[in-house]
Structure 1
Amino acid sequence: MTPNPAIITAVENLDYRVTVGDVVAKAGLDVKVAEQGLLALATDAGGHLQVSETGEIAYLFPKNFRGILRNKFWRLRWREWWEKVWRVLFYLIRISFGILLILSFVIILAAITIIVISLNSSGDRNDSGSRGNNFGGGMMFLPRFWFNYNWFLWFNWGYYDRPYRYQRQRQKYHSQGQKNGMNFFEAVFSFLFGDGNPNYNLDERRWQAIATVIKNNQGAVVAEQIAPYLDDLGKGYALEYEEYILPVLIRFNGRPEVSSEGQIVYHFPELQATAKGWNSQPISAFLKEKFWRFSEATSGQIMLATGLGAVNFVGALVLGSLLEDGTVAAQLGGFISFVEVIYPLLLVYGVGFLVLPLIRYFWVQWRNGKVEARNQQRQKRVITLNHSDRQLKQKIEYAKKFASETIIGCESLAYTTEKSILEQEAEQADKIDAEWQKRLNQSDAKE
């Protein structure tokens, strides 16, 4: 069984001595998953179990346990190697779209330049009528300025001026400390596809927050304290009887407790044991989803990508007009014939480069509207909790009756796998003798 990466990270962050409740609060895992994972990790990494006199268990791990696991599990080594390789591959994938854009533009510009120069050379030798016969009548509808070489010089200048303006914009961002870390090729990928889901770890954040709330309240809460971290609470009967809390009870092995007034609170014994004193952790008042961004690229990078994409699209249309009758490629051959073959791909890329971000822009606005609605809904639950009525205050007070914290210190251990049974029996005998002597002394003092 390959160790759970979330448990490994939690153990390291908790200084290598943990309880199930500590790991659950840190990683937001299911109690049963955390318990099984810790047992497996202790077995594989040479960890030790420490059992307190009251039966709670703490797990102690060596600080080099990750190296032990790496040597033992080829899957762990393979995952670490693949993560490194994937970072390189994904970077190449990201910059490939920018490279394709530049390459597409260069091919289109070179093809148009070659065709226009050929047309102008032919025009010097023939009158306009004979030129029409050489290259077909299909070209006659195009305005004369398409074939003006000076127009293409302006076209090139307009493009090549953009990088200089972009460089000035980058220098401005650097001077203001607003560097986003993207080069232009990465910015093209961001412009086309965005930068991923900002809430990719929403469930992980949700369960971590809920477990932290429970730990901060020493293992006993009311449903209203958990509601700001959930989504749909249901309506009618489901809302009245707090059915939305059931997944939390199942995940963290909680149980309901009912007061004499019929009020329900929730008790989580496994989250009350800790390897060392639990200091109340700061946590957001409600689960706040992050808004989707169209792109993490700077405005200058986005403008540059948009402008270059528009120029590339216009160039593809011009090239399509020049290749329309098919005789140009046949007469010039070579590079122009190759361009004619790949022209559909150039056109599709040019259209997609502009259409895809446009569609994604409206999709992002729609998603953000949904995110805003959910955030407002959770925030209203926090307001209700903060302005609790008398009944809710009674529930919170009743929950405090079940609140407690059990610290598994080294002095309260009944058994540990760090030492042999004989050594522990000897230590326990000394401890028992000391306890009896203490009681005898107390009895003599009373007499």
Structure 2
Amino acid sequence: MTPNPTIMQAVEKLGYRVTVGDVSSHAGLNVAEAGQGLLALASDAGGHLQVAETGDIVYQFPRNFREVLRNKYFQMRLREWWNKVWEVLFYLIRISFAVFLILSIALITITIFIIITAANSDRNGNNRSSSSRDGGLFFFPFPDLFWFFSPNYRDRQQQRQYQRHSQRSQESDLNFFEAVFSFLFGDGNPNANLEERRWQEVGAVIQNNQGAVVAEQVAPYLDNLGESYTQEYEDYMLPVLMRFNGKPEVSPEGQIVYYFPELQVKASKTRHQSVSTYLEEFPWRFSAASSGQVMLAAGLGVLNFVGALILGVLIADGTAAAQLGGLVVFVQGIYWLLWGYGAGFLGVPLVRYFWIQWRNKKLAARNRDRLSRSRLLANPDDGLQRKINYAQQFATEKVIGSEDLVYSSETDLIDQEIERSAQIDAEWQRRLQEGSGE
């Protein structure tokens, strides 16, 4: 069984000495999954089991357990190698869109220049004196095209000043090539680890309340609670109970509280974990690029698409390409690829912009719903306060120290028995002395 990376990270953050409850609440994992994962990790990484008098188990891991696993598992070494290779490949994929955009603009511009220059040369050869007056199909787009693509110096100065102002108001760590990819496809799902965050925060809430909570304390981190009449039965707590092996308890007033025995056992005393009052989903951003970079990418996209349209007019009849050959024939052969890329370069961000607006509206509604539930805890009514007080009767924290251990796989069993017998004798002597003193 390959070690679970989430459990490995939890072990490191918790100081290499953990219980199943520690890992389950910290990582938001199912208790059974955390238990199996810790057993597998201890077996593979040379960890040790420490058993307390109560029967609770603590797992002790060496600080170099990752190195032990790396030497043992070829699959883990292969995964780490592939992660490094994929980082490079993915970066090349990201910058390839900007590279192709630049190549597309260059090919279109050069081809248009070649066609128009050839057309002008033909007219100059036929009638040099009338060449400036008799403009044809291949002539009139040329000056307009370069005027549009090459604004004067003052316009360029104003554009650079605007970009510098935009960068001050919205800094970006992306270079031009990365910004183009961000403009096209965004920067990934900001809530990709939402479920992981959800269960981590639920686990933190349970531990901060010493393993005993009411449904209202957990509700701000959950979704799909059902209709108002079904929420009274608190069915939405069932996944929480299953994940963390919780148990319900009914108060004399008929209210239900929940406690989680396995999350009440800890390997060491810990402070309360910092946890937000509700699970907040982060809004989708159109792009992490600065506004100046977005405008530049959009401007180049428009430039590329307009150039493709003009080129399509110039090569529509195929005569120019047949006469000039070479690069013009090549560009004519891939024209629809260039046109399609130009259309997609503008179409994809446009569609994505409206999709993000729609998605953020739904996201904001879910955030408001969870926030409204969290506000019930800020000023609880008398009924809720009595419910919370009743839950505190089941709140407890059991910290297993070295003095509580009866067995550890770190030392020989005979040595442990000798040490244990000495402890038992000392305890008997203390009790005898207390009895004789009375």
TM-score (norm 2): 0.95
2:346 aligns with: 354
Using the alignment, how far apart are the partners of 1:380 and 1:187 within structure 2? 37
Residue 104 (structure 1) aligns with: 104
User: 1:363-374 residue pairs with structure 2 within 5 A?
Assistant: 363-374=355-366
Sequence identity of aligned pairs in percent? 58
- The 5-angstrom pairing of residues 261-300 of structure 1 reads 261-300=253-292
Counterpart position of 2:121: 121
Contact 2:51 2:57 in 1 (8 A): yes
CA–CA distance in 1 between the matches of 2:155 and 2:123? 33
Quote the offset at 1:125 in angstroms: 1.4
Q: How far apart are the structure 1 equivalents of 2:285 and 2:177?
A: 18
2:21 aligned partner:
21
Deviations 1:25-56 (A, max 9, x none): 21111100000000000000000011111111
Contact conserved, 1:291 with 1:368, CA < 8 A, in 2?
yes
Shift of 1:387: 2.1
SS of equivalent residue, structure 1 residue 2: coil
**Aligned pair in 2 of structure 1 residues 110, 143: CA closer, same or farther (>3 Å)?**
closer
Q: Per-residue deviation at 1:260?
A: 1.7
Q: Could you give the per-residue CA deviations for residues 141-163 of structure 1, whole angstroms, max 9, x where no partner exists?
A: x4852144xx4543453499999
| Residue of structure 1 equivalent to 2:394 | 402
Cα offset for 1:179?
4.2
The equivalent of 2:6 in structure 1 is 6
Per-residue CA deviation, residues 382-425 of structure 1 (Å, 9 max, x unaligned), is 11222211111111011001000000101111111011110000
- The aligned residue for residue 136 of structure 1 is none
Name the residue aligned to 2:326.
Answer: 334
SS in 2 for 1:415: strand
CA-CA distance at 1:280 after TM superposition: 0.9
* Alpha-carbon distance in 1 for matches of 2:160, 2:25: 47
> Which residue number corresponds to residue 184 of structure 2?
192
Give the distance between the partners of 2:104 and 2:41, measured in 1 at CA: 53
* Residues 3, 37 of structure 1: 8 Å contact kept: yes
Q: CA deviation at 1:98?
A: 0.4
CA separation in 1, counterparts of 2:111 and 2:366?
52
1:267/1:402 contact within 8 Å kept? yes
Q: Secondary structure at the match of 2:276?
A: coil
Any residues of structure 2 matched to 1:47-58 within 5 Å, and which? 47-58=47-58
> 1:116 aligns to what SS in structure 2?
helix
Give 3-state SS (helix, strand or coil) of 1:118's partner: helix
Aligned residue for 1:134?
none
1:247-262 to 2 correspondence within 5 Å? 247-262=239-254
Equivalent runs, 1:436-447 vs 2, <5 Å: 436-446=428-438
**Counterparts in 2 of 1:384 and 1:106: CA distance versus 1, 3 Å:** same
2:33 is matched by which residue type in structure 1?
A: V
Structure 1 Cα separation of the partners of residues 296 and 259 of structure 2: 57
Residue 310 of structure 1 corresponds to: 302
Residues 159/345 of structure 1: CA separation in 2 closer, same or farther (3 Å cut): farther
Question: What amino acid does structure 2 have at the position aligned with 1:145?
Answer: F
Q: 2:78 and 2:165 mapped to 1: Cα distance?
A: 43
Counterpart amino acid of 2:141? Answer: W
Give unpaired runs (5+ residues) of structure 1.
Answer: 132-138
Who is 2:40 aligned against?
A: 40
Q: CA deviation at 1:349?
A: 0.7
Partner of 1:79, secondary structure, is: helix
Tell me whether 236-245 or 344-353 shows the greater mean CA deviation: 236-245
SS at match of 2:217: helix
1:162 and 1:304 in contact (8 A); partners too: no
Q: Sort the Cα spacing of 1:374 and 1:349 in 2 relative to 1 into closer, same or farther, 3 A.
A: same
Alpha carbons 1:159, 1:308 under 8 Å: kept: no
Query: More displaced, 340-349 or 236-245?
Result: 236-245
User: Which digits, 9 at most, give the CA deviation of each residue in 1:56-95, with x for residues without a partner?
Assistant: 1110000000000001111111111111011100000000
Q: TM-score, normalised by structure 1?
A: 0.93
Distance in structure 1 (CA, Å) of the matches to 2:152 and 2:9: 49
> Which residue of the other structure, out of 150, 153, 156, is the alignment partner of 1:157?
150
Asked whether the equivalents of residues 276 and 407 of structure 1 are also in contact (C-alpha less than 8 Å), the reply is yes
What letter matches 1:87 in structure 2?
Answer: E
Q: Distance in 2 between matches of 1:421 and 1:54?
A: 19
Q: Which moved more, 1:284-293 or 1:391-400?
A: 391-400
**SS of equivalent to 2:274:** coil
Equivalent position amino acid for 1:376 in 2: R
In 2, Cα distance between equivalents of 1:325 and 1:42:
74
Q: Which amino acid aligns with 1:386?
A: A
Alpha-carbon displacement from aligned partner over 1:351-410 (angstroms, at most 9, x marks no partner): 111111111000000010011000000000011222211111111011001000000101
Alpha-carbon deviations, 1:265-309, whole Å to 9, x = none?
001001000111121111100000000000000000000001111
**Gaps spanning 5+ residues in structure 2: where?**
none
Aligned to 1:77: 77
Give the total of aligned pairs: 434
- Post-superposition Cα deviations, 1:227-254, rounded to whole Å, max 9, x if no partner, equal 0000111015531110000000000000
Corresponding residue of 2:415: 423
**Contact 2:249 2:258 (C-alpha < 8 Å) held by counterparts:** yes
Greater mean alpha carbon deviation, residues 426-435 or residues 258-267: 258-267
